Structure 1
Amino acid sequence: MTTDPVIIIEGDPGWLPHSIDWSNGTAQFQKFPHEQFRAPGFLFEFQPEDSADKQEIPISRLRDIRVETLPIHFVFHTAFCRSTLLSRALNMDGIAVGMSEPGIIASLVNAPAEFRPILSIVLRLLARQRTGVSAIFVKPTNHANRLIPEIMEASPDSRAIFMTCALKPFLNSVRKRGLMGHRWGRKLYLEVQQYAGLDLGMSPTENFAMSDLQAAGLAWFLYQNYFTNLASGPYHDRVRTLDAEFFDRNHAETVQRILNFCLIDSSSFSPETLENAPLFSEYSKGDGEIRIDTPGESTENEISQVQHWLEIIARQMGIRAPVQQSLA
């Protein structure tokens, strides 16, 4: 029996790249059972029980792994917009596999410049051929949105859905996560400003003085502008935008439209089966049933004020937010 990890990985499509350790130049692979793609939660959180289901190889050997591939498409998103649920809904026997936040793409966000060329290799390994499906959908973390242009260049036959939501549900999701949610919102603003920033004429003091929900709202606003520009740019024919509220009202129709846009045979797609799937009554991030959380009056007032503030900025800058749906 071979002990060469490359041969082991080649032998089973359950093996996927999981993360990269840049400090020691190795790539970690994990073996994912097929049912894991349908489960709540994210792939980066999955840990196999058997140590034999983990392999490590030098980054330099990634290109040695030979696999047949399927078409691969992407769901990019602005966070808190039901993208995890959509990824799970795209898991359909005989049609497609949906992968929610494989850790490997997050590993590439801060890749040293000399390793950027391995992006195309990683995408090929995620797209490896599987029995009984004709396409792969990957939903990366929103923290990898800076890589969208590189991903679209590295995978020229891929199509992408840009999924977003209105400001109010976004900020409500930030707020209900308490201190860590507020901290996340501020950090997200700093992150997105680095690669999709706008000159808003704000001094460092004004930036510091913003409330947490203002900062999170600005992150959302920058995302809207970023997605709008990408969707109308060089990849416009390979990109469609999707509103979370439309998906909430039209699960099966949304999936059908995505399959049509991605040129995937949907003759075996059953809208009734999808609509009755238990995943729509579960919390897709893995914490049990869907939780209903109602904000208090003071929070509602603050969110309304942030929305009014951003509407003024949008008018002054000629920016339309949120992104208008183009998936038809």
Structure 2
Amino acid sequence: MLDLAPLRYEDGGMTTVPEQVRLPAEWLAHRYDPGHDAIHFISVDRDRRRRAAFLTDAELPDLGDPLIIRRVDLAPALPDQRVNFIFHSAYCCSTLVANAYDRPGRAFSLKEPVLLNDLVGWRHRGGAPAQIRTVLQDGLATLARPFEAGEVCVIKPSNVVNGLALAMLADRPDAAALLLYAPLEAYLGSIAGKGLWGRLWVRDLLAKFMKEGLVDLGFAPEDIFLQSDLQVAATGWLAQHAVFAKLVERWPMRVRTLESEVLLARPMEALTAVDTLFGVRATAAEREAVVQAVFTRHAKSGGDFDAEARKADQRAAAQNYAEELAMVVAWADKVAHSAGIALIAPNPLLSTQ
């Protein structure tokens, strides 16, 4: 039993850890507090992580008070613990792929850990880049603690974290990354189908990308203010694909791209290729079991899911928003051509020939 009492601190009456602490993997590194240079841990077992769509407060509402430990009091990371990443541009089955890496003894996954979002927020509030880089290194090492020896860690950050992707891969020379995306028209249809919530979300996301300096498409801020909701969505999608292209160019052997529709059409091939990329051992029978267990369940709701159902939703969006989608896709194609961004991402994991 872990003795929590000596590990807490409170303002005014600071209680520090007498020795460096290595917490078991059940203690998820959940939040980062730059004011105290401390990490907040919450106890989340493997089954609860599996059932949660994301590792957020909304999905984990009843876990009690966090265990708060200063970063200096944490034991050094375990040597040779491999971390891989699933970076994505949203609505592209990234949570489904992350779920495929909950394999006891082989791999475990972390779906949108909030600690990484906290570092992005710290950047936006003017945090020093060198300090943020150091905390990012320690944060990834702390997140990567395995449940069982030999497990490979797979982190699927929120796409608001994509601005940190270059630093993550630079600091982790053994890491590989899958860049997952939906075709532009399918992505825009998903946003349109979400109604007002989806349209507000893409505006909030683009505002954050602009703070990160990720939007270099020839638009002045006032130009973006005048764009329609789906134009804003396309601008954010293109900005992320510009980041993806830079990652591929720098690390072509470690970074591969995958379109969501190819993933769903060829799940066994895709899983085999991602396993190889991530260094996860598995037999063909084990992969087939993962495909049957994961690719038939909706990654967020837990209900039934299949590729045909997704296509039906896409057809409905294409019909309901046909004029708007056609206009924005044509506009985005011109913007992409002007900015030198490929709508089909380079260095695909699977050949489409």
Instruction: Give the 5 Å matches for 1:25-174.
Output: 25-45=37-57, 46-47=59-60, 49=62, 51=64, 54-62=66-74, 64=75, 67=78, 70-111=81-122, 112-113=127-128, 114-131=131-148, 133-174=150-191
Q: Is the 1:37–1:97 Cα contact (8 Å) retained in structure 2?
A: no
What is the DSSP-based 3-state SS (H/G/I as helix, E as strand, rest coil) of the residue aligned with 2:174? coil
Shift of 1:163: 0.8
What is the DSSP-based 3-state SS (H/G/I as helix, E as strand, rest coil) of the residue aligned with 2:321? helix
Q: Is the 2:217–2:339 Cα contact (8 Å) retained in structure 1?
A: no
Instruction: Give the 5 Å matches for 1:155-304.
Output: 155-193=172-210, 194-200=212-218, 202-233=219-250, 235-267=251-283, 270-277=286-293, 279-286=294-301, 288-290=303-305, 293=313, 294-295=316-317, 297=319, 299-304=321-326
Task: Determine the C-alpha separation between the residues in 2 that align with 1:199 and 1:324.
Answer: 19
Segment of structure 1 superposing worse, 302-311 or 17-26 = 17-26
What is the DSSP-based 3-state SS (H/G/I as helix, E as strand, rest coil) of the residue aligned with 2:170? helix
Segment of structure 1 superposing worse, 171-180 or 78-87 = 171-180
**Cα distance change of structure 1 residues 178 and 264 upon mapping to structure 2, 3 Å threshold:** same
Q: Is the 2:56–2:114 Cα contact (8 Å) retained in structure 1?
A: yes
TM-score (norm 2): 0.82
Q: Is the 1:165–1:322 Cα contact (8 Å) retained in structure 2?
A: no
Task: Determine the C-alpha separation between the residues in 2 that align with 1:317 and 1:57.
Answer: 45
**Structure 2 counterpart of 1:309, from 325, 331, 335:** 331
Q: Is the 1:69–1:127 Cα contact (8 Å) retained in structure 2?
A: no
Shift of 1:25: 4.1
Segment of structure 1 superposing worse, 143-152 or 256-265 = 256-265
Shift of 1:215: 0.8
**Cα distance change of structure 1 residues 21 and 305 upon mapping to structure 2, 3 Å threshold:** same
**Cα distance change of structure 1 residues 65 and 44 upon mapping to structure 2, 3 Å threshold:** farther
Q: Is the 2:108–2:154 Cα contact (8 Å) retained in structure 1?
A: yes
Q: Is the 1:69–1:129 Cα contact (8 Å) retained in structure 2?
A: no
Task: Determine the C-alpha separation between the residues in 1 that align with 2:106 and 2:92.
Answer: 24
Task: Determine the C-alpha separation between the residues in 2 that align with 1:9 and 1:73.
Answer: 25
Task: Determine the C-alpha separation between the residues in 2 that align with 1:29 and 1:4.
Answer: 14
Q: Size of the alignment, in residue pairs?
A: 323
Aligned to 1:321: 343
Task: Determine the C-alpha separation between the residues in 2 that align with 1:287 and 1:130.
Answer: 24
Task: Determine the C-alpha separation between the residues in 1 that align with 2:285 and 2:120.
Answer: 35
Q: Which runs of 5+ in 2 are unaligned?
A: 8-16
What is the DSSP-based 3-state SS (H/G/I as helix, E as strand, rest coil) of the residue aligned with 1:162? strand
Shift of 1:325: 4.9
Q: Which amino acid aligns with 1:127?
A: A
**Cα distance change of structure 1 residues 302 and 121 upon mapping to structure 2, 3 Å threshold:** same
Task: Determine the C-alpha separation between the residues in 1 that align with 2:107 and 2:247.
Answer: 25
Task: Determine the C-alpha separation between the residues in 2 that align with 1:283 and 1:40.
Answer: 12
Task: Determine the C-alpha separation between the residues in 2 that align with 1:310 and 1:71.
Answer: 37
**Cα distance change of structure 1 residues 269 and 161 upon mapping to structure 2, 3 Å threshold:** farther
What is the DSSP-based 3-state SS (H/G/I as helix, E as strand, rest coil) of the residue aligned with 1:236? coil
Identity of aligned residues (%): 25
Q: Which runs of 5+ in 1 are unaligned?
A: none
**Cα distance change of structure 1 residues 143 and 203 upon mapping to structure 2, 3 Å threshold:** closer
RMSD: 2.6
Shift of 1:21: 2.6
Task: Determine the C-alpha separation between the residues in 1 that align with 2:158 and 2:64.
Answer: 26
Shift of 1:97: 0.9
Q: Which amino acid aligns with 2:281?
A: D
Q: Is the 1:17–1:27 Cα contact (8 Å) retained in structure 2?
A: yes
Task: Determine the C-alpha separation between the residues in 2 that align with 1:300 and 1:8.
Answer: 59
Aligned to 2:6: 4
What is the DSSP-based 3-state SS (H/G/I as helix, E as strand, rest coil) of the residue aligned with 2:253? helix
Task: Determine the C-alpha separation between the residues in 1 that align with 2:96 and 2:207.
Answer: 27
Task: Determine the C-alpha separation between the residues in 1 that align with 2:62 and 2:209.
Answer: 36
Aligned to 1:15: 27
**Cα distance change of structure 1 residues 325 and 285 upon mapping to structure 2, 3 Å threshold:** farther
Shift of 1:165: 1.3
**Cα distance change of structure 1 residues 317 and 274 upon mapping to structure 2, 3 Å threshold:** same
Q: Which amino acid aligns with 1:94?
A: G
Give per-residue Cα distances to partners, 1:129-159, cap 9 Å, x unaligned.
Answer: 3226531101000000000111112222111
Q: Is the 2:87–2:178 Cα contact (8 Å) retained in structure 1?
A: yes
Give per-residue Cα distances to partners, 1:204-245, cap 9 Å, x unaligned.
Answer: 443222110011111111211221122112x23221111111
TM-score (norm 1): 0.88
Segment of structure 1 superposing worse, 144-153 or 293-302 = 293-302
**Cα distance change of structure 1 residues 39 and 132 upon mapping to structure 2, 3 Å threshold:** farther
